[in-house]
Amino acid sequence: MPAVTIRNLPDATHRALKMRAAQHGRSAEAEMRDILETAVRPETRVRLGTALAERSRRLGLTNEDVDALDHARDRTPAKPMSFE
């Protein structure tokens, strides 16, 4: 897993972080991981699979439609590009 170094963190912020970590019963490092995870991957984020399924439902697509698309698909392998 990658490691992250945070430079020039103000002392007041570091103290507040340590207090917050203590309130949650974890280390400052664990608290930082939780803060970052929550910030960049919120529970309310839209997940691609969920978004596609919802859109399909709104359009009225069924499993039969997906099967029909799969049967109509061209299965011929693509030819490699030539740069000559």
- pLDDT at position 42 is 80
pLDDT along the chain (84 residues), means of 10: 90 96 96 93 84 91 88 90 90
- pLDDT at position 24 is 96
**Number of compact structural domains in the chain:** 2
On whether both 34 and 16 belong to a single domain, the answer is yes
Q: Does the residue 5 lie in any domain?
A: no
On whether both 35 and 52 belong to a single domain, the answer is no
Q: What is d(CA 4, CA 60) in angstroms, rounded to the nearest whole number?
A: 46
- pLDDT at position 83 is 92
On whether both 36 and 52 belong to a single domain, the answer is no
The answer to whether the pTM exceeds 0.85 is no
- pLDDT at position 47 is 86
Q: Does the residue 83 lie in any domain?
A: no
User: Could you give the C-alpha distances from 5 to 8, 17, 32, 36, in angstroms and in order?
Assistant: 10, 15, 11, 13
Domain extent at residue 31? 11-40
Q: Does the residue 21 lie in any domain?
A: yes
The one-letter code for the residue type at 80 is P
